[in-house]
Amino acid sequence: MKRLKTAKGRKVSSTRWLERQLNDPYVKRAKAEGYRSRAAYKLIELDERFGLLKGVKAVVDLGIAPGGWSQVVRRKSPSAKIAGIDLLPTDPLDGVAVLQMDFMDEAAPAKLRAALGVNEADLVMSDMAANTVGHPQTDHLRTMALVEAGLEFATEILRPGGAYVAKVLAGGADNNLVAELKRHFTAVKHAKPPASRKDSSEWYVIAQGFKGRAD
C-alpha cells in the first residue's frame, strides 16, 4: 500500500483521501483506460446489469463534471447525441454539448433540450449530489430535491420506453419518490454498483420503461 511521504500542512482527512486515491484500483484503471474519473465504472457496472445504454441515440447527463459518464456513453454508442450540465467547469468532450450552469435554474431544461438538438432522449442520467453540510437529514433532503428535479425533466424529455438513473443516498429514494417513479416507469430498482466505495452512502435508483406523457 502506498503511503504519502509528507502530510505537512494537510488535514488528516485530505491525507487519507489522497492515500485512498493512490491505492484505489478503479482510479488506476481509469487512468489506464483514459476515463476522467473512477465514476465511469459505476455507469459501466449499472449498464452491465440493466442495459441502460443499449441502442441509445440521445442521452442527457445531469452533473456531468468531470465527464466520465459521458465518456462511457460515447464509447458504447459512438453516434449518440449527448448533452450535459454542471455547475463545475468540464473540459470539452468530443461530440458532447456541455452547459456550465445550475440545473435548478429555471432556464436550464430548455437550454439542455436545445443543446441536445432533438426532442426526445432515450436516457436521462444523474450523478448530481448536493454539497453536503454534514447533517444527514439535510443532506438527504437536498439530494432528493435534485433527484426529483431530474425526474421532472426526464418525464418531459424521455421517449416512451426510456430510462432515468439517479444517485440517491443511503436508504434510497423515499416512499413518495418511489411511488412517483412507479407512476411514470414500468420498473424501478435500487442498486449499489461495485465501483461505489463500500463506506459511501451513495446508491442509485434505476427507472426503466417510461410510460409516456399524458399529452
Q: HSE-up of 13 (CA within 13 Å, CB side)?
A: 0
134 is in an annotated binding site: no
Cross-strand bridge partners of residue 81: 58
Query: Can 167 be counted among the known catalytic residues?
Result: yes
Listed residue (160, 99, 169) closest to 130, CA to CA? 169
Number of C-beta neighbours around residue 37 at 10 A: 17
172 is in an annotated binding site: no
| Whether 187 contacts 207, CB under 8 Å | yes
47 is in an annotated binding site: no
86 is in an annotated binding site: yes
Catalytic hit among 167, 189, 198, 211: 167
Strands 81-86 and 203-210: unpaired
Which residues does the annotation place in the binding site for S-adenosyl-L-methionine?
A: 67, 69, 86, 102, 127
Known binding-site positions:
67, 69, 86, 102, 127
Active site residues: 167
